[in-house]
Structure 1
Amino acid sequence: MKIKMNIITPLIKQYNEIKKKFTNTIILFRVGDFYEMFGTDAIKCSKVLNIVLTKRKNKGNTNSHVELAGFPHHSINNYLPKLVKAGFKIAICEELEKKNTKERGLLKRGVTEIITPGVVTNSDVLDAKTNNFLCAIFYKNYKTQLGISFLDISTGEFLVGEGNQNYINIIINKFLPKEIICPQTKEKDIKSILNNNILSKNIHLQGLEDFVFDFDSSYKYLIQHFKTNSLKGFNIQKLGLGISSAGAICSYVCNICNYKISHINCIKKISLENSLNIENFSLENLEIISSKNEDALTLLKVLDFTKSPMGGRLLKKWLIFPLKDINKIHYRQNILYEFLNQKQIIKSIRNKLKKISDLERLSAKIVNLRANTYDLLLLKKSIKNIIEIKKILSRSSSNILKNLAKEIINCNKLYNTIEKVLYEEAPKKINVIKPGISKELDKLRTLVIEREQTILKICERERKQTGIKNIKINSNHIFGYYIEIKKPTKKIKVPKHWKIQQTLAKVERYISEELKNHEIKIKLAQESILKIESKILEDLTCFLLENVKYNQRNAKVIAKIDVMISLAICAKQNNYICPKVNNSFNLYIKDGRHPVIEAQIHSQGAKAITYIANDILFKKNEQQIFIITGPNMAGKSAILRKIAIIIIMAQVGSYIPASYAEIGIIEKIFIRVGASDNISIGESTFMNEMNETASILNNISERSLILLDEIGRGTSTYDGISIAWAIIEFLHNHPNQPFVLFSTHYHELNNMKNYYIRIRNRSISVKKINKQIIYTRKLLPFGCKNSYGINVAKIAGIPKTIIERSKKIMTCLKKMKKINSHIKYKIIKKNIENLNINTLTLASAQSFLKHIKFLFKKQENK
């Protein structure tokens, strides 16, 4: 916001001119040793950063003022992450010239960097093991087809796709961008899409001018950037809407945020066809990557033993996009097998991996000329350890690991160049270049050393001549060199050619003409040294820039090695086995365990507690649907989740928690577990449940796994049973015959196995000892008739009077149910007797008879 004209000063006028160019942006305005914010910027930042908000009075008008807040420039890495996480777009405005103490006037200032939630390279802001994606969305009709692209400027990953709203929501939830850009005219529609997406509530939306998304400009920009004649080589030629979004995202990063993107050397098509499709609500329910409970253990945390940032990010991608290609799954399994049998190699490589920095993000810094000496030394150390990893793998007896070594590009030249130029010790602003690189530089350094030695001699001489033994010659950035003596010292001893500079409580500081002359020569030499070293560092950075693609390629190989070793360690520690993954339509898991629950048990030190393993066997034409009944808290939902997680792990290429497994490739996993209202759009628990169930039923493939928990419980009992029955019947008769696990408390559904050939009953066993319920967690091959809800209420601490009253009510209800059943029996019998067969159609007769048969069977069981 522009500051009011009646309180303008030269500084505020300069601020206003810069603010005009960067609307809707927080300006961090450098004033000396502080970054200052004015007006509404100051008000916003004071709240987010919890810093003091003050007011600066106008010299010409004491009744007017401007809000002011600020923080020391050296603390920017503490405050910047908070502003970015709050969703602010930030422009860093620096002083572009040095202050001359002899001249007064306004310093030149300009914006050197723009940071938004989706465009960040600062390592203090970024999560090392998480991508920071910027997303762009473009469409002509959002109800049919939309284009979308993702760019992580810090790692160079660039992706593009196209699809309907469901597709867009799926991949937004997979990539979880920090910021989305779209045409200003389409912001309202994009907001409506995001409002229906629970996981996207923290994504910041930014509207841009519509022309930024122009297809012709976007296409031209992309082929110029990648130096190609077309985009066919990237397989995105036909994605017109996606290309428009990709061009816009590049324009935003380059032209608005002022970042270079030469490290982005590839753009990939986002295809859900090549990976196991996990619906958004399924991904959330399974707690693969994250959980509603921030402290909850997730599958990612269980599997993540990675040592490098690149490995951490890659593992997350593998879990989000499990494979469907059997050859790729077997390739990963083979590498995993080799590492499991090479214990010493794992140990050696992990020691190297932890010394490798984030090569992808270092590459982005180099491209944008923001890599300092410390970054270059980190790069050198990383390259050295990559070279060592290549040697370790090459010496292996395994051909698979030797081939992995061949994927690592030899970067000895890069390492030797940095080693030749830079000192190994901690970097400084000056004297970071090794001797022998520049004769002029070596000469100037010798001059500085000689002058410093001369100053030491001056100190000794003054001690002798004055008789003051405690003389010291020191320097600081304010006064330069000065002579310091302790108090009290007789003034007679102080030579007349010394001029008092500063008087402190215990010391006095003086300067002399001779000392100042030496200081000037040292400063001039140091300035020349700094210029020469800066030029050498610039040349070194340019050399690294030309070879940045090699670091990026090696980063990908190192990430893969890191992930495979991580999975091997996890498999070894938890006694996982290698599943047999094939193209069959069968699914057999013997002694399957939930990896997260098992890890929680171990983390609590409960080694004496054994996780109860269970078997499951699906056969396409024999055992398609399992109806699971059992008491509350027995673990029905855990079994559903366990099956899904084991399949995801298997298709990632990981080993799994079981004693044996044969898994036919699964294309889609749908899981509907738990109930929650979506109040923001006026949906009840039951409506939300039905929406998700409808999405499942309308997207079934022949290789789908459907896991449904308590469907129909959000409405009346008879409505719920009817809906659940009809859904199971629909899934049984569906031509694709998906695998289904259906947990329920509607015990009436157990009778379905009598009418449908591919339905089986299972239940969770319990034991009742002295009126106490013991949960054994074992899956049994028959249905259960009791939910033990009153027992659970008792365990939860419901008052005893309520428990006793509940038992009496339940007894009465059971009696009433038997009476009602007897009445219904008579009514049905009478209806059959009065039935006019001639008026029935064949279809209605079959349906009626099937229902009557069910009711009679149910009555007989009672």
Structure 2
Amino acid sequence: MMAQYRRIKGELPRDALLLFRLGDFYEMFFEDAQVGARILGLALTRRNGVPMCGLPYHAASAYVGRLLRAGYKVALCDQLEEARPGKLVKREVTAILTPGTHWDERLLPQEQNNFLAAVNPGSSGYGLAVVDLSTGEFRATELEDDQALQTELERLRPAEIIHPAGATTLHSLLLEGRVAGNHPPADPSGSAEPQHRRSPRFGWVVNPYEDWAFSPDTAQYTLREHFRVATLDGFGLKGRPRAIGAAGAVVHYLTQHLRRDLRNLTHLSFYHRGDHLVLDAATLRHLEVLEPLHRDAPRNASLYGALNRTVTPMGARRLRDWLSQPLATLEPIHQRQDAIQTFLDNPELLERFRQQLAEVRDLERILGRLSTGNANARDLVALRFALEQMPGLKQLLQSLAEAPPPHAPLPALSEPSSPRSVLLQQLADQIHTFPDLADLIRRAIVDDPPLSVKEGGLIRDGFDPALDELRRAMREGKDWIARYQAEEIQRTGIASLKVRYNSVFGYYIEVTRANLDRVPPHYQRKQTIANGERFITPELKEIETKILGAEEGSTKLEYELFQQIRERVLARLAPLQEAAAALARADALAGLAETARLHQYCRPVVRDEGLLEIRDGRHPVLEQTLLDERFVPNDTWLASGPAVSGSVAETEPHASTAPAEPRPPQIALITGPNMAGKSTYIRQVALLVLMAHVGSFVPARSARIDLVDRIFTRIGAADDLARGQSTFMVEMTETAHILHHATARSLIVLDEVGRGTSTFDGLSLAWSIVEFIHNQIGAKTLFATHYHELTELAARLPRLKNYNVAVREWRDQIIFLHKIVEGATDKSYGIHVARLAGVPQPVLDRARVILANLEEAELNPDGTPKTRTPARRDREKLRQMPPSTQLDLFGNP
């Protein structure tokens, strides 16, 4: 057995832990046992000097999950036959699991993809490919630099990343987020500790892999062989050698290194980052797009949580993908808007569609389990439920696509009807129906099958004549056993005589000790027990052979029939996956429509002229979580660079009158006290812009939200101790990234820039940054600040306008109105906020005294007060400061 273990272990990747099946346990030996005992808390024992530890077979999933979470590869070696005395059991590796390729439903978050990524460095950028084996999703792209690579990886959050073993600089970048020096990565065939390959910053596991698998020629051959095509041009990979290298390497890693059957990878799609609105990791985090900043926050405390009203896990995953990668072109945005509007105009159809779609469940992962051989009969039953819903869902989408707008005149009978929603019509066309498969599963599989597919009980009576014959033999044999027991009781006069069965002796007759003198002479004694003896007879053993043969044959035949049905399903895998993807997209659209219906969202006007005009906008997350007060809506009016014509008032006949200003400002400088709502407001505007680019409706009375190319945010700060960066360093790093990459088509949201250093340094930096954005970048900008001196910029920069958060003072108290109004403010109300926070009264009283002294006029030499306070003198100096030497690129000639 140990020779068998060594042979199997030698055929595996050397960094994989081997779980070796011995009866009811998985055993680990040698170094694997030492690692397993430490990670899993198991007792480490020795036999003949060999370290070993074991874990129960029935609880293996929980232990394997812990090993995967620790970053290890796990190989499962199972017994392929029953143990027989004196014979070595046949064993083979049935699966090699890694963090990015496992299928344990308890470890896979339903609403997130579990990606394996491959990164291929090139001379001018990177190729990136990601695969989710649980859903069959396979994508690739090319990225221009380190920053773009990190942004995309942080958006996708893969569980595991592979890269060429010789790319040491890339290895450091993936682990630490920066180049940490040319230290060689772990040997891909070695047994380095996974802790050294798990990124402490990002959490993913980084595994070097053979360099040659990433070469364009090898990768191209691998992909052509897998998809059985002569060219990769149809996948959008023409002239994309870096993407081809990454995609080919990930397929090679899965098939050759992990021995996976990849029949569920039926399609590879190439995507351009330029087709989508760019959101870097800082923006996703600051705006709480996918997850709240605080782990103990409620589930709906993120934009995803507030918008997610999907009814299937695959729809939730699609919505999550849309929010992290919004659209950047008008046509697809308008198509999604049309689909959502159609749902809203037909609420009864929307409700029926969502109710029926809920029965589909997670079709993508059901197909994934079937294609990887990890499905059971319950997955087939779930697939049957999904297939039974498809004709109705297809018809509902078709009806919605052709439904006329409310109050629209009916078209003449002679006029050809065109779909109102092109997108809904496309989705309806992609939903194929499979009545033959649904009927096959309905006839074959029982309604409530067992979990195991190798122990029988899953095929219906009447489906297969051979199986029915074996089952009849089993039933007749057991009936014969019952009659035989009754006859033996009557023949021997032993009322307590029993015919029983166990796996050691088979069927036997059990007689109590008090009745042994009545045992017939033809009974053959088999075993003595505490209260009697056990016997067998030739007749009993003859029928036992028939019964056990029928049971074994029945169980084996049921498994064969299950595999045949599975193969029938997999023969239609590609159209099934297309239908699942269409249903996921339809679910995301219907969920957005339901959210818009519940919270009275409006359809934003989206063009490409640089205007941002929102009337009575609301924060999409806070308005759902506020329980004790009403959310106060606010307006926004901005434009990129030069003046932009067009407004909500002009484009929507029922909108209110446009503001009287000749043109919108480019920069809104917002002042006001803490807790008044500055940060909430600027986040709100960014979230509404993001939602409009997703194609969603937005929480506002009306909105005009034109296209932007990126959303940049600099909100809040914290030390990055792992990288040795202070709060101010983090703040300046993120600000520098914005200033280097923003364009006139961007939206910039800055909150309290410069507060991490001294007052004068921070004010100077903030002043210069605002000037640079105004004169050199031209991006629409929301700049919230406590530096009231910055309000002087409104007189110097023509496209900057001051706003403040309204506050009402009453009897030494302040009331936050949470309303953004025009004009500047020079009061911070910091002591009032401290009182609301519960700071002790003596501290507040002393602070007022100190504040009064700081604000008191300076004394002249003769003791008389000067007429100008320091604050006024500073303001006058700022007004007299010479203008910036930067040329205003967007000013009038």
- The TM-score, its normalising length taken from structure 2, stands at 0.85
Q: Is residue 173–residue 199 contact of structure 1 (8 Å, CA) maintained in 2?
A: no
Give the aligned partner of residue 412 of structure 2: none
2:350 corresponds to which letter in structure 1?
A: I
Q: Distance in 2 between matches of 1:791 and 1:478?
A: 83
Aligned to 2:410: none
1:528 to 2:553 alignment? yes
**C-alpha contact 1:352 1:386 (8 A) present in aligned 2:** no
Give 1:181-196 correspondences, 5 Å limit.
181-196=162-177
The corresponding residue for 1:284 is 285
2:837 aligned with 1:796:
yes
Distance 2:149 2:743 in 1: 20
- The amino acid across from 1:627 in the alignment is L
2:108 paired residue among 120, 126, 148: 126
1:444 aligned to 446, 470, 476, which one?
470
Partner residue in 2 for 1:642: 684
Q: Residues 264 and 372 of structure 2 are in contact (CA less than 8 Å); yes or no, is this contact kept in structure 1?
A: no
Unpaired segments of 5 or more residues in structure 2?
179-198, 404-418, 644-662, 861-865, 886-893
Match of 1:785 among 810, 826, 843: 826
User: What's the offset of the Cα at 1:88?
Assistant: 1.1
Displacement of 1:317 in angstroms is 0.8
Within-5 A mapping of 1:477-626: 477-483=503-509, 489-495=514-520, 497-498=522-523, 511-601=536-626, 606=627, 608-620=628-640, 621=643, 622=663, 623-626=665-668
Aligned to 2:28: 37
Structure 1 residues 510 and 598 mapped into 2: Cα distance closer, same or farther (>3 Å)?
A: farther
Residue 99 (str. 1) matches residue 102 (str. 2): no
Asked if 1:71 corresponds to 2:55, the answer is yes
| Kept in 1: contact 2:748–2:782 (CA 8 A) | yes
Higher mean C-alpha deviation, range 253-262 or range 153-162: 153-162
Q: How does 1:321-340 map to 2 (within 5 A)?
A: 321-340=325-344
CA separation of 1:474 and 1:307: change in aligned 2, threshold 3 A: farther
Q: 2:741 aligns with which of 699, 704, 708?
A: 699
Q: CA deviation at 1:193?
A: 4.3
Give the SS at the match of 1:665.
coil
Find 2:458's aligned residue among 414, 432, 444: 432
Q: Name stretches of at least 5 consecutive residues in structure 1 with no aligned partner.
A: 1-10, 59-64, 832-845, 853-862
How big is the shift at 1:159?
1.5
The residue identity in structure 1 corresponding to 2:715 is V
The CA distance in 1 between the partners of 2:867 and 2:11, in whole Å, is 78
**CA offsets per residue over residues 800-850 of structure 1, 9 Å max, x none?**
33322222222222236798996999999xx9xxxxxxxxxxxxxx99644
Q: Following TM superposition, by how much is the alpha carbon of 1:195 offset from its aligned partner in structure 2, in angstroms?
A: 1.5
Report how far residue 690 of structure 1 moved: 1.2
Offset, 1:500: 6.3
Alpha-carbon deviation of 1:409?
0.9
Q: Secondary structure at the match of 2:360?
A: coil
What is the CA-CA distance between 1:750 and the residue it aligns to?
0.8
Q: 1:738-787, CA deviations, whole angstroms, 9 ceiling, x for partnerless residues? A: 10000000000011111111111111122233322322211121122111
Query: Counterpart amino acid of 1:674?
Result: G
**What per-residue deviation string (whole Å, max 9, x for no partner) do you get for residues 216-261 of structure 1?**
1111121232233322222222221221121111111001111122
Q: Residues 97-123 of structure 1, C-alpha deviation per residue, up to 9 Å, x if partnerless?
A: 3211xx324323221110000112333
Q: Displacement of 1:629 after TM fit?
A: 0.7
Query: 1:4 maps to which residue?
Result: none
Structure 2 residue matching 1:307: 3-state secondary structure: coil
Q: Quick check: 1:53–1:67 contact (8 Å CA) kept in 2? A: no
Asked whether the equivalents of residues 494 and 515 of structure 2 are also in contact (C-alpha less than 8 Å), the reply is no
Distance change in 2, residues 1:670/1:818 (3 Å) = farther
Q: Distance in 2 between matches of 1:574 and 1:499?
A: 81
* 2:428 is the counterpart of 1:405: yes
Distance 2:485 2:168 in 1: 71
Cα distance change, pair 500–318 in 1 and its aligned pair in 2 (3 A)? farther
* Equivalent of 1:465 in 476, 491, 510: 491
Cα distance in 2 for residues equivalent to 1:740 and 1:223: 48
Q: Which amino acid aligns with 1:93?
A: C
Question: 1:83 is matched by which residue type in structure 2?
Answer: L
- Shift of the alpha carbon at 1:551? 0.9
- Aligned mates of 1:560, 1:75 — CA distance in 2: 37
State which drifts further: 460-469 or 296-305: 460-469
Deviations 1:561-587 (A, max 9, x none): 211221122222222222222223211
CA shift in 2, pair 1:155/1:827, >3 Å:
closer
Q: Which moved more, 1:325-334 or 1:766-775?
A: 766-775
Change (3 A) 1:825 1:442: closer
1:108 corresponds to: 90
1:412 and 1:827 mapped to 2: Cα distance? 83
Residue aligning to 2:234: 233
Matched, 1:690 2:732: yes
Which residue pairs with 1:146 in the alignment? 126
Cα distance change on mapping 1:848 and 1:658 into 2, 3 Å: closer
Q: Percent of aligned pairs with the same residue?
A: 34
| Rounded Cα–Cα distance in structure 2 between residues aligned with 1:779 and 1:171 | 35
- State how far apart, in whole Å, the 2-side matches of 1:502 and 1:811 are: 102
CA deviation string 1:350-384 (max 9, x = no partner): 33322224322232333333333222222122211
Deviations 1:278-300 (A, max 9, x none): 12211111111123422332111
Partner of 1:841: none
- Compared with structure 1, are the counterparts of its residues 278 and 463 closer, same or farther at alpha carbon in structure 2 (3 Å cutoff)? same
Call closer, same or farther: CA 1:823–1:372 in 2, change over 3 Å: closer
Q: Is the contact between residue 411 and residue 550 of structure 1 (CA under 8 Å) also seen in structure 2?
A: no
Q: Of 129, 150, 154, which aligns to 1:173?
A: 154
SS at match of 2:476: helix
Deviation at 1:723, TM superposition (A): 0.9
Tell me what 2:445 maps to.
Answer: 422
Secondary structure class of the residue paired with 2:584 = helix
Aligned to 2:205: 204
1:528 maps to amino acid: G
Which secondary structure state, in structure 1, belongs to the residue aligned with residue 606 of structure 2? Answer: strand
Match of 1:56 in 2: 46
Length, aligned pairs only: 810
Give the distance between the partners of 2:884 and 2:252, measured in 1 at CA: 64
**In 1, distance between residues paired with 2:597 and 2:529?**
67
In the alignment, which residue of structure 1 is the partner of 2:71?
87
Task: Please tell me whether residue 383 in structure 1 is matched to residue 383 in structure 2.
Answer: no
**Normalization by structure 1: what TM-score?**
0.88
Aligned mates of 2:721, 2:160 — CA distance in 1: 24
Q: Summarize the Cα distance change of 1:475–1:726 in structure 2 as closer, same or farther, 3 Å threshold.
A: same
Asked whether the 8 Å contact 1:187–1:207 carries over to 2, the reply is no
In structure 1, what is the equivalent of residue 406 of structure 2?
Answer: none
1:297-332 per-residue CA deviation (whole Å, 9 max, x = no partner) reads: 211111112222211110111111111222212221
Structure 1 residues 270-279 or 72-81, which shifts more? 72-81
Q: How far apart, in 2, do the equivalents of 1:334 and 1:470 lie? A: 79
8 Å CA contact 1:165, 1:193 repeated in 2 = no
Inter-partner Cα distance in structure 1 for 2:820 and 2:532: 84
* Structure 1 residue 491: Cα displacement: 3.3
Change (3 A) 1:470 1:626: farther
- Give the distance between the partners of 1:66 and 1:159, measured in 2 at CA: 45
Q: Residues 106 and 634 of structure 1: is their aligned pair in 2 closer, same or farther, counting only changes over 3 Å?
A: same
Deviates more, 1:287-296 or 1:659-668: 287-296
Residues 80 and 125 of structure 1 are in contact (CA less than 8 Å); yes or no, is this contact kept in structure 2? no
Return the alpha-carbon distance in structure 1 between the equivalents of residues 767 and 859 of structure 2.
22
269 and 394 in structure 1: CA distance in 2 versus 1, 3 angstrom threshold: closer
Looking at structure 2, the residues matched to 191 and 215 of structure 1 have their Cα atoms a distance apart, in angstroms, of 23
Partners in 1 of 2:735 and 2:252 — Cα distance?
A: 41
Relative distance call for 1:193 and 1:258 in structure 2 (3 A) is closer
Greater CA drift, 574-583 or 502-511: 502-511
Report the Cα offset of residue 709 of structure 1.
0.6
Greater share of helix: 1
Deviation at 1:672, TM superposition (A): 0.5
Q: In terms of mean alpha carbon deviation, does 231-240 or 13-22 score higher?
A: 13-22
> What secondary structure is seen at the aligned counterpart in 1 of 2:700?
coil
